Amino acid sequence: MTGTQGTNLDQWYGHYAARTAGLAASEVRALFAVASRPEVVSLAGGMPYVSALPQQLIETAVERTVSEQGAVALQYGSGQGVPRLREQILEVMALEGIHGSVDDVVVTTGSQHALELLSKLFLDPGDVVIAEGPSYVTAITVFRSFQAETVHSPMDADGLEPQALRETIARVKAEGKRIKFLYLIPSFQNPMGVTLTWERRVEILEIARSEGILVLEDNPYGLLYFDQAPPPAIRSLDEDGVVYLGTFSKTLAPGLRVGWAIAPHAIREKLVLANEAAILSPSSFSQIVISEYMETADWRGQIDTFRGVYRERRDAMLAALQEHLPSMSWTVPNGGFYVWLTMPEHLDSKAMLPRAVKELVAYTPGTAFYADGNGRRNMRLSFCYPKPDFIREGIRRLATVINGELALLGEFSQTAPLPIVPAERDVLPPFAG
Amino acid sequence: MTGTQGTNLDQWYGHYAARTAGLAASEVRALFAVASRPEVVSLAGGMPYVSALPQQLIETAVERTVSEQGAVALQYGSGQGVPRLREQILEVMALEGIHGSVDDVVVTTGSQHALELLSKLFLDPGDVVIAEGPSYVTAITVFRSFQAETVHSPMDADGLEPQALRETIARVKAEGKRIKFLYLIPSFQNPMGVTLTWERRVEILEIARSEGILVLEDNPYGLLYFDQAPPPAIRSLDEDGVVYLGTFSKTLAPGLRVGWAIAPHAIREKLVLANEAAILSPSSFSQIVISEYMETADWRGQIDTFRGVYRERRDAMLAALQEHLPSMSWTVPNGGFYVWLTMPEHLDSKAMLPRAVKELVAYTPGTAFYADGNGRRNMRLSFCYPKPDFIREGIRRLATVINGELALLGEFSQTAPLPIVPAERDVLPPFAG
């Protein structure tokens, strides 16, 4: 509000929709700027290591796209997506235990846009989405952007806890609130890295069915397992009560922005209309590049390559944590991108972040993954992007910071009790006005 | 509701958001299916003639994208867009008289997504958008999808009429409604093809300013002029009261899905956050392909090529209308894609469409471009996609249909007065439930 040229004053301040009041920059956003400095080891972002994708594979796909399908690739397309690609998506889905029809698939601009469109279709102000606690930061952002409340339900090393979920649902319903989705990342969860067991998938689906709650199953990491495949997708158990979200962002490349939803018939038709209103049609060019890639490259073998890359990095991170931070606790992911670290009481990962960046290491504070201010003792450590040596060095630096904090805490605790800071909404203030 | 396998029954029917009740398929959607049959001359769609783009130009751009910027092109990017492309967009903007900063530009998934995101930021249920009458069908759809009402204000051959706009604003305000946008396509308007004069641009901007209404200036066709350039963009007159929407869909190719908004500072920051929530970041791949195209190709010369293609088709359409339908009236566009035809009283372009398709010609009924049921005597005729011979044949077939209708009307009018059908909301019924 101090801009000398009025640029910080917003003459349209009183004109925004009510939903815009909840629009705020996430911590992850601010961190991307920090993480981009080359001297910082960033364990913060969730960028896949696209350099593990041989350039020749993409070259072949784009050359074929232009030379053989140029007129289609450059043109508007169907709001539901390119039919041939939707067939190929079913081949990917079969690996997750899902067998559907090409009619069930809606191609979206990354699975993020499926989340946005489904939120637009279903969420009224005041509605509740039940999500794992912690959960994916930009899902929480999307739900909030439609004035819905995210209520977290607890997890353990086997994922969402069914009995706790029953209690969460009962509590929300007792408050007279309407639950629209149960939003889950069952395999190699973001940010915890844990996987929902098969028994729990069955039980949680049964809970959702009996409570009349639509399940959003978000599965970006399921094929990136390190030892054995995770259990089949929840969607493999139920065609009518689950909307499944998939993406090429982690098994191929996020820069193409192609994901998909598999949805029950009536929802799918509305999703296509919402997609058309929002963007007319998803990029024909990106879709055909991916279709040509799947046609010409050993895409299953490439996923194996990614698995090997990420397994090595996961191993490096776990070994470094064991070496440098043996008194902390952390999750042991069998796939995906993330480890979830829990620090001792009274440490605050958000408050500590500036000191970490000074030590040239970055992470995402746990509070970013909760809508309710929880997660102060936690941080998400991503092993997807930095090479193993950098991961080891990053964890070493992180240990320096945490051990320094603990030493300081020890000194203070001999003189006075630590102040307890009340949890606050863990976002930066909204921009402008 | 008669599906034997329950696919038409929607168990989630009671779960949708209030805004989803207004979601319906547009007539344009149904027409795309019709138009895709090769024996039909389609004057219905708005597909650019991408075959006029030499394949070599795109080949060079995609090869450079993969070989020189592959790791960036395949990765997530900034929610605001690739900085180099935003600089190049300013070169395009200079041709429209707009001189801004690279910070003002937000890259979107086609300009359609800018419309969607701005609607999400600004429109509460019951808000009003004032638009030209007729206006772009999918803009009306987007406004409706956020439960806003589109109120049309009349046009003539020089575009929106300022005095009528004053009256429209006064009427809406007197009804106690809140006007959020004045949505305009000032150059080679969709669907009328007319262009707002410079004097009116100045006057209409002054009206919007004095009434405190934000102008959305949508300009997909401005560079596709046939004789002389249209007047400078309204945005060239005002940086704070206008959001400008641009796109590469008509000057390059829609299949890449890259457009942009130029917005006042505070709105721009919110737009970036909304873009990130919706899709994380626009496609790096598509953006860099366009950036490389602008770097390596004579893109201004290519726009000249498109101008020549569309000028020839416009000429073919106008000559054919003069030859086959001399008693009708139509607009004479100096650029863009569309002619707006007005038929005699009592003819109904929507009711006539099945007969036109039987004669193997398609158009878009005028009612698609109004939120209020107007436009029955009108149709939009697109000259962008079919080659001149097909345009001539299409108009010949259309004349057969219209003249047949007129003959029928003449017979009936000798026996009984024509029934007057009340205007109805001109959309197909919502899907499922």
- CATH 3.40.640.10 domain residues, chain A: 55-296
Q: What is the pLDDT of residue A415?
A: 53
Candidates A301, A313, A331, A308; CA nearest to A384 is: A313
**How close, in Å, is residue B229 to chain A by CA atoms?**
26
**Mind listing the pLDDT tens digit for each residue in A45-64?**
899 999 999 999 999 999 99
Which residues, 6 or more positions from B81, have their beta carbon under 8 angstroms from its beta carbon? B105, B106, B107, B260, B281, B282, B287
Residues of A in contact with B281 (CB under 8 A): 257
CA distance linking residue B107 with residue B275, whole number of Å = 9
**Mind listing the pLDDT tens digit for each residue in A93-140?**
999 999 999 999 999 999 999 999 999 999 999 999 999 999 999 999
What is the signed CA dihedral for B394, B396, B400, B402, rounded to 10 degrees?
70
Which residues, 6 or more positions from B205, have their beta carbon under 8 angstroms from its beta carbon? B215, B234, B237, B238, B241, B242
CA distance linking residue A118 with residue A113, whole number of Å = 8
What six digits make up the tokens of A79?
């709001």
Q: Would you tell me the crossing angle of helices B110-122 and B137-145 to the nearest 10 degrees?
A: 30
Tell me which residue in B8, B51, B265 faces A7 most closely, judged by beta carbons: B265
- Decide the pairing of beta strands B259-262 and B105-108: antiparallel
What are the counts of helices (DSSP H) followed by strands (DSSP E) for chain A? 12, 14
CB interface of A with B, residues 204-243, below 8 Å = 214, 240-241
What six digits make up the tokens of A233?
């997708």
Place of tokens 């017979």: B411
CB interface of A with B, residues 33-72, below 8 Å = 47-48, 50-51, 53, 55, 58-59, 62-63, 65-67, 70-72
Q: What is the pLDDT of residue B7?
A: 43
Tell me, which fold does domain B20-52+301-410 have in CATH?
Aspartate Aminotransferase, domain 1 (3.90.1150)
Cβ atoms of B125 and B18 within 8 Å: the answer is yes
Q: What is the pLDDT of residue B423?
A: 37
**Residue A209 vs residues A197, A215, A222, B257: alpha-carbon distances, Å:** 18, 9, 23, 38
Which residues, 6 or more positions from A148, have their beta carbon under 8 angstroms from its beta carbon? A119, A123, A124, A125, A126, A127, A128, A129, A180
Tell me which residue in B55, B146, B286 faces A66 most closely, judged by beta carbons: B55
**Mind listing the pLDDT tens digit for each residue in A305-354?**
999 999 999 999 999 999 999 999 999 999 999 999 999 999 999 999 99
CA distance linking residue B278 with residue A117, whole number of Å = 8
**How close, in Å, is residue B287 to chain A by CA atoms?**
10
Q: What is the pLDDT of residue B32?
A: 58
CA distance linking residue B236 with residue B242, whole number of Å = 9
CB contact under 8 A, B264 and A12: yes
Whether B105 has a pLDDT exceeding 70, the answer reads yes
**Mind listing the pLDDT tens digit for each residue in A376-393?**
999 999 999 999 999 999
Q: What is the pLDDT of residue B31?
A: 61
Q: What is the pLDDT of residue A422?
A: 38
Q: What is the pLDDT of residue A34?
A: 66
Tell me which residue in A112, A123, A124 faces B280 most closely, judged by beta carbons: A112
What six digits make up the tokens of B207?
């009206």
**Mind listing the pLDDT tens digit for each residue in B126-159?**
999 999 999 999 999 999 999 999 999 999 999 9
B139 touches A: beta carbon within 8 Å: no
Q: What is the pLDDT of residue B159?
A: 98
**Residues paired with B163 in a beta bridge:** none
CA distance linking residue B306 with residue B57, whole number of Å = 14
Residues of A in contact with B190 (CB under 8 A): none
Whether B430 has a pLDDT exceeding 70, the answer reads no
Q: What is the ipTM of this complex?
A: 0.93
What six digits make up the tokens of A176?
């007279």
Q: What is the pLDDT of residue B25?
A: 74
DSSP alpha helix (H) spans, A299-362: 299-324, 349-358
Q: What is the pLDDT of residue A33?
A: 72
Q: What is the pLDDT of residue A8?
A: 54
What six digits make up the tokens of A187?
């395999």
Higher pLDDT pick, A227 / A414: A227
Residues of B in contact with A25 (CB under 8 A): 273
| Angle at CA of residue B58, ends B289 and A63, nearest 5° | 90
Report residue B43's pLDDT band, with 50, 70 and 90 as the boundaries: very high
Report residue A37's pLDDT band, with 50, 70 and 90 as the boundaries: confident
Residues of B in contact with A265 (CB under 8 A): 7-8, 10, 432
Q: What is the pLDDT of residue A106?
A: 98
CB interface of B with A, residues 240-259, below 8 Å = 240-241, 249, 253-257
Cβ atoms of A106 and A263 within 8 Å: the answer is yes
Residues of B in contact with A280 (CB under 8 A): 110, 112, 138, 254, 257
Q: What is the pLDDT of residue A409?
A: 85
**How close, in Å, is residue A412 to chain B by CA atoms?**
40
CB interface of B with A, residues 347-386, below 8 Å = none
CB contact under 8 A, A8 and B266: yes
CB interface of B with A, residues 252-311, below 8 Å = 253-257, 264-267, 269-270, 273-274, 276-286, 289
In sign, the C-alpha dihedral spanning B308, B342, B367, B43 is negative
Q: Mind giving me the DSSP string for B257-299?
A: --EEEE--HHHHHHHHHHHHHHHSS--HHHHHHHHHHHHHS-H
Q: What is the pLDDT of residue B410?
A: 83
Amino acid at the residue A283: S
B180 touches A: beta carbon within 8 Å: yes
CB contact under 8 A, A47 and B73: no
Average pLDDT over residues A72-89: 97
pTM comes to 0.93
Whether A425 has a pLDDT exceeding 70, the answer reads no
Cβ atoms of A179 and A164 within 8 Å: the answer is no
The reply to whether CATH 3.40.640.10 applies to domain A55-296 is yes
SS3 B404: helix
Tell me which residue in A8, A113, A121 faces B16 most closely, judged by beta carbons: A121
Q: What is the pLDDT of residue A25?
A: 74
CA distance linking residue A101 with residue B198, whole number of Å = 54
CA distance linking residue B418 with residue B339, whole number of Å = 28
Average pLDDT over residues B107-117: 98
**Mind listing the pLDDT tens digit for each residue in B410-425?**
876 655 444 444 333 3
Cβ atoms of A185 and A369 within 8 Å: the answer is no
**How close, in Å, is residue B249 to chain A by CA atoms?**
9
CA distance linking residue B87 with residue B102, whole number of Å = 6
